[in-house]
Amino acid sequence: MPVSKKTRHEPHEEHADESWLIPYADLLTLLLALFIVLYGMSSTDAKKFEEMSKAFSVALNGGVGVMDKSSVEGTDTNTPQDSSSQLQQQSGQSMSMAKKRSELMRQEQEDLEKLKKQMDNYIKVNGLSSQLDTKLNQSQLTITISDKALFASGDDTVKPESRKLAKAISVLLEGFPDYEVIVSGHTDNVPISNQQFDSNWDLSAGRALNFMKILLLNSKLDPRKFVSTGYGEYHPVASNSTDEGRSKNRRVEVSILRKYQSNTSSQQGIATTP
Protein backbone atom coordinates (compact mmCIF):
# COMPACT_ATOMS: atom_id res chain seq x y z
CA MET A 1 0.00 0.00 0.00
CA PRO A 2 1.58 3.18 -1.07
CA VAL A 3 2.39 5.65 1.64
CA SER A 4 0.24 8.74 1.29
CA LYS A 5 2.10 11.91 1.13
CA LYS A 6 0.82 15.06 2.66
CA THR A 7 -0.09 17.69 0.21
CA ARG A 8 2.73 20.14 0.01
CA HIS A 9 2.01 23.83 -0.33
CA GLU A 10 4.33 26.15 -2.04
CA PRO A 11 5.57 28.87 0.32
CA HIS A 12 4.17 32.34 -0.47
CA GLU A 13 4.76 35.84 0.80
CA GLU A 14 2.49 37.31 3.40
CA HIS A 15 0.62 40.41 2.14
CA ALA A 16 0.20 43.37 4.51
CA ASP A 17 -3.34 44.42 5.26
CA GLU A 18 -4.02 47.34 2.94
CA SER A 19 -7.55 48.03 4.06
CA TRP A 20 -6.37 51.28 5.68
CA LEU A 21 -5.84 52.79 2.25
CA ILE A 22 -9.58 53.14 1.68
CA PRO A 23 -10.35 55.53 4.61
CA TYR A 24 -7.04 57.32 3.93
CA ALA A 25 -8.07 57.99 0.35
CA ASP A 26 -11.48 59.16 1.56
CA LEU A 27 -9.78 61.54 3.98
CA LEU A 28 -7.63 63.02 1.23
CA THR A 29 -10.72 63.47 -0.90
CA LEU A 30 -12.49 65.25 1.93
CA LEU A 31 -9.51 67.53 2.52
CA LEU A 32 -9.33 68.38 -1.17
CA ALA A 33 -13.03 69.17 -1.22
CA LEU A 34 -12.65 71.28 1.93
CA PHE A 35 -9.88 73.37 0.38
CA ILE A 36 -12.02 73.88 -2.71
CA VAL A 37 -14.89 75.11 -0.54
CA LEU A 38 -12.61 77.42 1.44
CA TYR A 39 -11.27 78.85 -1.77
CA GLY A 40 -14.80 79.40 -2.97
CA MET A 41 -15.71 81.18 0.30
CA SER A 42 -12.94 83.68 -0.27
CA SER A 43 -14.79 84.98 -3.32
CA THR A 44 -17.35 87.73 -2.96
CA ASP A 45 -19.47 86.17 -5.74
CA ALA A 46 -22.45 84.53 -3.97
CA LYS A 47 -23.57 82.66 -7.10
CA LYS A 48 -20.21 80.92 -7.53
CA PHE A 49 -20.17 79.94 -3.85
CA GLU A 50 -23.64 78.38 -4.08
CA GLU A 51 -22.67 76.36 -7.16
CA MET A 52 -19.51 75.15 -5.43
CA SER A 53 -21.44 74.15 -2.32
CA LYS A 54 -23.94 72.10 -4.35
CA ALA A 55 -21.17 70.33 -6.27
CA PHE A 56 -19.40 69.53 -3.00
CA SER A 57 -22.60 68.09 -1.48
CA VAL A 58 -23.37 65.95 -4.53
CA ALA A 59 -19.84 64.53 -4.70
CA LEU A 60 -19.69 63.46 -1.08
CA ASN A 61 -23.26 62.85 0.04
CA GLY A 62 -25.33 62.16 -3.01
CA GLY A 63 -27.01 65.51 -2.95
CA VAL A 64 -27.52 65.87 0.81
CA GLY A 65 -26.26 69.33 1.63
CA VAL A 66 -23.28 69.45 3.95
CA MET A 67 -23.27 73.22 3.83
CA ASP A 68 -26.25 75.34 2.98
CA LYS A 69 -26.68 79.02 2.57
CA SER A 70 -27.62 79.53 6.22
CA SER A 71 -24.27 78.10 7.37
CA VAL A 72 -22.43 81.07 6.01
CA GLU A 73 -24.60 83.82 7.37
CA GLY A 74 -22.51 86.89 7.93
CA THR A 75 -20.26 86.03 4.95
CA ASP A 76 -19.70 89.02 2.75
CA THR A 77 -21.90 88.33 -0.26
CA ASN A 78 -21.39 91.66 -1.92
CA THR A 79 -20.87 91.39 -5.63
CA PRO A 80 -17.88 93.14 -7.23
CA GLN A 81 -20.32 95.75 -8.45
CA ASP A 82 -21.52 96.37 -4.86
CA SER A 83 -17.95 96.66 -3.58
CA SER A 84 -17.08 99.06 -6.37
CA SER A 85 -20.16 101.13 -5.56
CA GLN A 86 -19.18 101.31 -1.88
CA LEU A 87 -15.64 102.38 -2.77
CA GLN A 88 -16.98 105.07 -5.07
CA GLN A 89 -19.34 106.28 -2.33
CA GLN A 90 -16.53 106.43 0.24
CA SER A 91 -14.28 108.20 -2.24
CA GLY A 92 -17.03 110.70 -2.96
CA GLN A 93 -17.53 111.38 0.74
CA SER A 94 -13.79 111.90 1.25
CA MET A 95 -13.64 114.31 -1.68
CA SER A 96 -16.68 116.16 -0.33
CA MET A 97 -15.08 116.52 3.11
CA ALA A 98 -11.79 117.67 1.59
CA LYS A 99 -13.64 120.21 -0.54
CA LYS A 100 -15.56 121.50 2.47
CA ARG A 101 -12.38 121.79 4.55
CA SER A 102 -10.67 123.64 1.70
CA GLU A 103 -13.56 126.09 1.55
CA LEU A 104 -13.45 126.65 5.33
CA MET A 105 -9.70 127.27 5.17
CA ARG A 106 -10.22 129.76 2.36
CA GLN A 107 -12.91 131.58 4.35
CA GLU A 108 -10.70 131.63 7.44
CA GLN A 109 -7.84 133.10 5.45
CA GLU A 110 -10.12 135.84 4.21
CA ASP A 111 -11.36 136.56 7.75
CA LEU A 112 -7.88 136.90 9.21
CA GLU A 113 -6.60 138.98 6.32
CA LYS A 114 -9.58 141.29 6.75
CA LEU A 115 -8.95 141.61 10.50
CA LYS A 116 -5.26 142.30 9.91
CA LYS A 117 -6.10 144.99 7.36
CA GLN A 118 -8.51 146.67 9.80
CA MET A 119 -5.92 146.59 12.58
CA ASP A 120 -3.16 147.93 10.30
CA ASN A 121 -5.44 150.77 9.27
CA TYR A 122 -6.14 151.64 12.91
CA ILE A 123 -2.40 151.67 13.66
CA LYS A 124 -1.71 153.93 10.68
CA VAL A 125 -4.52 156.39 11.41
CA ASN A 126 -3.51 156.75 15.06
CA GLY A 127 0.25 156.88 14.45
CA LEU A 128 0.97 153.76 16.49
CA SER A 129 3.37 152.00 14.11
CA SER A 130 6.22 152.24 16.63
CA GLN A 131 4.13 150.63 19.38
CA LEU A 132 1.98 148.07 17.56
CA ASP A 133 2.56 145.48 14.88
CA THR A 134 0.58 142.67 13.25
CA LYS A 135 1.72 139.40 11.73
CA LEU A 136 -0.30 136.65 10.02
CA ASN A 137 1.22 133.21 9.57
CA GLN A 138 0.06 129.62 9.14
CA SER A 139 -1.08 129.26 12.74
CA GLN A 140 -2.41 132.64 13.91
CA LEU A 141 -2.80 136.36 13.55
CA THR A 142 -0.70 138.12 16.20
CA ILE A 143 -1.15 141.70 17.38
CA THR A 144 2.00 142.78 19.24
CA ILE A 145 1.78 145.75 21.62
CA SER A 146 4.82 147.38 23.21
CA ASP A 147 4.77 147.51 27.01
CA LYS A 148 5.28 151.29 26.84
CA ALA A 149 1.92 151.64 25.11
CA LEU A 150 0.15 149.94 28.01
CA PHE A 151 2.07 149.99 31.28
CA ALA A 152 4.38 152.01 33.44
CA SER A 153 7.78 150.46 34.07
CA GLY A 154 7.58 147.48 36.44
CA ASP A 155 3.79 147.75 36.73
CA ASP A 156 0.91 145.58 35.43
CA THR A 157 -1.86 148.20 35.60
CA VAL A 158 -3.06 149.30 32.16
CA LYS A 159 -2.67 153.05 31.72
CA PRO A 160 -5.98 154.95 31.57
CA GLU A 161 -5.09 156.42 28.16
CA SER A 162 -4.36 152.90 26.86
CA ARG A 163 -7.87 151.63 27.54
CA LYS A 164 -8.95 153.25 24.27
CA LEU A 165 -6.53 150.98 22.41
CA ALA A 166 -7.84 147.91 24.21
CA LYS A 167 -11.41 148.90 23.37
CA ALA A 168 -10.54 149.39 19.69
CA ILE A 169 -9.03 145.91 19.50
CA SER A 170 -12.06 144.51 21.31
CA VAL A 171 -14.46 146.06 18.78
CA LEU A 172 -12.47 144.58 15.87
CA LEU A 173 -12.49 141.13 17.49
CA GLU A 174 -16.27 141.29 17.89
CA GLY A 175 -16.51 141.02 14.12
CA PHE A 176 -14.86 137.58 14.28
CA PRO A 177 -16.41 135.90 17.35
CA ASP A 178 -15.68 132.26 16.45
CA TYR A 179 -11.92 132.38 16.99
CA GLU A 180 -10.03 131.48 20.15
CA VAL A 181 -7.71 134.18 21.49
CA ILE A 182 -4.59 133.97 23.66
CA VAL A 183 -3.35 137.10 25.45
CA SER A 184 0.28 136.59 26.48
CA GLY A 185 2.70 138.76 28.45
CA HIS A 186 6.49 138.91 27.86
CA THR A 187 9.40 140.70 29.54
CA ASP A 188 13.14 141.17 29.07
CA ASN A 189 15.65 139.29 31.20
CA VAL A 190 16.39 142.08 33.67
CA PRO A 191 15.48 140.63 37.10
CA ILE A 192 12.62 142.22 39.02
CA SER A 193 11.86 141.76 42.67
CA ASN A 194 9.65 144.11 44.63
CA GLN A 195 6.68 143.97 46.97
CA GLN A 196 4.29 143.32 44.07
CA PHE A 197 6.24 140.87 41.88
CA ASP A 198 8.71 138.14 42.75
CA SER A 199 9.84 137.59 39.16
CA ASN A 200 9.40 138.62 35.53
CA TRP A 201 7.08 135.66 35.20
CA ASP A 202 4.66 137.17 37.71
CA LEU A 203 4.86 140.56 35.99
CA SER A 204 4.15 139.13 32.53
CA ALA A 205 1.23 137.06 33.80
CA GLY A 206 -0.31 140.05 35.58
CA ARG A 207 -0.01 142.25 32.49
CA ALA A 208 -1.63 139.64 30.23
CA LEU A 209 -4.50 139.06 32.62
CA ASN A 210 -5.24 142.76 33.19
CA PHE A 211 -5.18 143.57 29.47
CA MET A 212 -7.48 140.62 28.72
CA LYS A 213 -9.96 141.83 31.34
CA ILE A 214 -10.18 145.22 29.61
CA LEU A 215 -10.68 143.52 26.22
CA LEU A 216 -13.66 141.64 27.63
CA LEU A 217 -15.07 144.52 29.68
CA ASN A 218 -18.45 145.68 28.34
CA SER A 219 -17.91 143.77 25.09
CA LYS A 220 -19.83 141.13 23.15
CA LEU A 221 -16.83 138.79 23.19
CA ASP A 222 -17.21 135.27 24.60
CA PRO A 223 -14.91 134.88 27.66
CA ARG A 224 -14.81 131.11 27.07
CA LYS A 225 -12.71 131.70 23.96
CA PHE A 226 -10.08 133.76 25.81
CA VAL A 227 -7.10 132.74 27.90
CA SER A 228 -4.19 134.73 29.35
CA THR A 229 -0.68 133.50 30.08
CA GLY A 230 2.67 134.88 31.17
CA TYR A 231 5.91 133.76 29.48
CA GLY A 232 8.28 136.00 31.43
CA GLU A 233 11.64 136.38 29.70
CA TYR A 234 11.57 132.95 28.06
CA HIS A 235 10.18 133.79 24.61
CA PRO A 236 12.30 136.73 23.41
CA VAL A 237 11.97 138.09 19.87
CA ALA A 238 15.27 140.02 20.03
CA SER A 239 18.57 139.99 21.87
CA ASN A 240 18.52 141.13 25.50
CA SER A 241 22.06 142.42 25.15
CA THR A 242 20.89 145.84 23.89
CA ASP A 243 18.34 148.40 25.05
CA GLU A 244 16.54 148.16 21.73
CA GLY A 245 16.32 144.37 21.95
CA ARG A 246 15.05 144.43 25.54
CA SER A 247 12.44 147.00 24.53
CA LYS A 248 11.12 144.66 21.82
CA ASN A 249 10.95 141.78 24.25
CA ARG A 250 8.75 143.71 26.71
CA ARG A 251 5.38 143.25 25.06
CA VAL A 252 1.82 141.90 25.16
CA GLU A 253 0.62 139.70 22.30
CA VAL A 254 -2.98 139.10 21.29
CA SER A 255 -3.03 135.93 19.17
CA ILE A 256 -6.11 134.97 17.15
CA LEU A 257 -5.74 131.24 16.46
CA ARG A 258 -6.58 129.51 13.21
CA LYS A 259 -9.06 126.65 13.38
CA TYR A 260 -7.77 125.07 10.18
CA GLN A 261 -4.06 124.62 9.66
CA SER A 262 -2.03 122.97 6.93
CA ASN A 263 1.41 121.46 7.46
CA THR A 264 2.34 121.70 3.80
CA SER A 265 4.80 124.29 2.70
CA SER A 266 2.43 125.43 -0.06
CA GLN A 267 -0.31 126.27 2.42
CA GLN A 268 2.22 127.96 4.65
CA GLY A 269 3.22 130.15 1.75
CA ILE A 270 -0.41 131.06 1.06
CA ALA A 271 -1.18 131.76 4.69
CA THR A 272 1.75 134.00 5.41
CA THR A 273 1.09 137.69 4.93
CA PRO A 274 3.97 140.15 5.25
Q: What is the tens place of the pLDDT at every residue in 14-35?
A: 555 666 667 777 777 877 877 7
Write down the pLDDT at residue 126.
Answer: 95
pTM of the predicted model as reported, rounded to 2 decimal places: 0.64
Per DSSP, the residues of 145-210 read EEGGGT--TT--SPPGGGHHHHHHHHHHHHT-TTS-EEEEEE--SS---SSS-SSHHHHHHHHHHH
β pairing state of 132-136 and 140-146: antiparallel
Q: Residue 37: what residue type?
A: V
Collect all residues with Cβ–Cβ distance below 8 Å to 72 and sequence separation of at least 6. 41, 49
> Using CA atoms, how far apart are residues 199 and 213, in angstroms rounded to an integer?
22
Question: Cβ(83)–Cβ(91) under 8 Å?
Answer: no
Q: What is the tens place of the pLDDT at every residue in 119-153?
A: 999 999 999 999 999 999 999 999 999 999 999 99
Q: Is the pLDDT of residue 60 over 70?
A: no
> Using CA atoms, how far apart are residues 220 and 45, in angstroms rounded to an integer?
62
Q: How many CB atoms lie within 10 A of CB 82?
A: 12
Q: What is the tens place of the pLDDT at every residue in 147-195?
A: 999 999 999 999 999 999 999 999 999 999 999 999 999 999 999 978 8
Q: What's the angle, vertex CA 100, arms to CA 98 and CA 104, rounded to 5?
A: 115
> Using CA atoms, how far apart are residues 183 and 57, in angstroms rounded to an integer?
77
For a pLDDT cut of 70, what percent of the chain falls above it? Answer: 72
- What is the Cα 177 distance to its own chain's centre? 24
Write down the pLDDT at residue 97.
Answer: 84
Write down the pLDDT at residue 47.
Answer: 65
Write down the pLDDT at residue 256.
Answer: 98
* 147 φ/ψ angles, rounded to the nearest 5 degrees: -60, -30
Q: Which of 51-60, 100-109, 115-124 ranks highest by mean pLDDT?
A: 115-124
Collect all residues with Cβ–Cβ distance below 8 Å to 258 and sequence separation of at least 6. 108, 112, 138, 139, 140, 179, 271
Q: Is the pLDDT of residue 203 over 60?
A: yes
Q: 17-37 burial string, b = 16+ CB within 10 Å, else e?
A: eeeeeeeeeeeeeeeebeeeb
Write down the pLDDT at residue 272.
Answer: 37
**Burial, 6: exposed, middle or buried (Cβ in 10 Å; 0-12, 13-18, 19+)?**
exposed
- Average model confidence (pLDDT) across the chain: 82
Residue 270 confidence class, pLDDT cut points 50, 70, 90: very low
Write down the pLDDT at residue 75.
Answer: 52
Residue 43 confidence class, pLDDT cut points 50, 70, 90: low
Q: What is the tens place of the pLDDT at every residue in 223-239?
A: 999 999 999 999 999 99
> Using CA atoms, how far apart are residues 167 and 161, in angstroms rounded to an integer?
11
Q: Is the pLDDT of residue 55 over 80?
A: no
Report the DSSP beta bridge partners of residue 182: 227, 255
Q: Is the pLDDT of residue 205 over 60?
A: yes
Write down the pLDDT at residue 253.
Answer: 98
Write down the pLDDT at residue 267.
Answer: 39
End-to-end CA distance of the chain: 140
Residue 52 confidence class, pLDDT cut points 50, 70, 90: low
Q: 40-67 burial string, b = 16+ CB within 10 Å, else e?
A: beeeeeeeebbebbeebbeeeeeeeeeb
